[in-house]
Structure 1
Amino acid sequence: MSDPTNLAVPGAAPELATPVPSPCVSLCKMDAERRYCMGCLRTIEEIVNWSKADDDYKRGVWAEIRRREPTVDFDDDFQQ
């Protein structure tokens, strides 16, 4: 039987994987109004803390990302 603490989770719910994957998509553009990256929807503080954080912290960040997602209209935000 496989170890349930080391399950890969499909892309629809990366926050459920162990270890929790980074939401970074290599599109780094900070939104001055909202104060988070338009690529991964994390704040500077969340980005800085990510590499040393435990999975509980990372899951909390993913929860914030999910909360932020409906507030972003990517078509409008990325027009030149």
Structure 2
Amino acid sequence: MTAQPPRPPKPIKTPCIKVCVVDGESGLCMGCYRRLNEVAGWAKLSDDQRDVILAELPSRRSLIRPEKLAMF
């Protein structure tokens, strides 16, 4: 029997849209609404931890002043 080659790891869900600009007032990325520590540690989080953060992101948009978001 031939050994199977290792499978690549499954992709990690991410809200990143490649707009990496941090709002100084809220501390959130203006593209995905994550905090810098969440962005930095994203790969180390469990799927469940990422799901909790992903569920919070839509409500975080309101923490950034609308005139700032109009730039994107």
Number of residue-to-residue matches in the alignment: 59
Q: 2:50 aligns with which of 44, 58, 79?
A: 58
State the partner residue of 2:26.
34
SS in 1 for 2:44: coil
Runs (4+) off by over 4 Å: none
Q: Is the 8 A contact 2:16 2:32 kept in 1?
A: yes
Aligned-residue identity in percent: 32
Structure 2 length normalisation: TM-score?
0.69
**CA deviation after TM superposition for structure 1 residue 56, in Å:** 0.8
Q: Shift of residue 20 of structure 1? A: 5.6
State the shift of 1:71 in Å. Answer: 4.1
1:1-80 map, 5 Å: 21-72=13-64, 73=66, 76-77=67-68, 78-79=70-71
TM-score by length of 1: 0.63
Q: Determine the C-alpha separation between the residues in 1 that align with 2:59 and 2:51.
A: 12
Quote the RMSD (CA, aligned, Å): 1.8
Choose between structure 1 and 2: higher strand proportion: 1
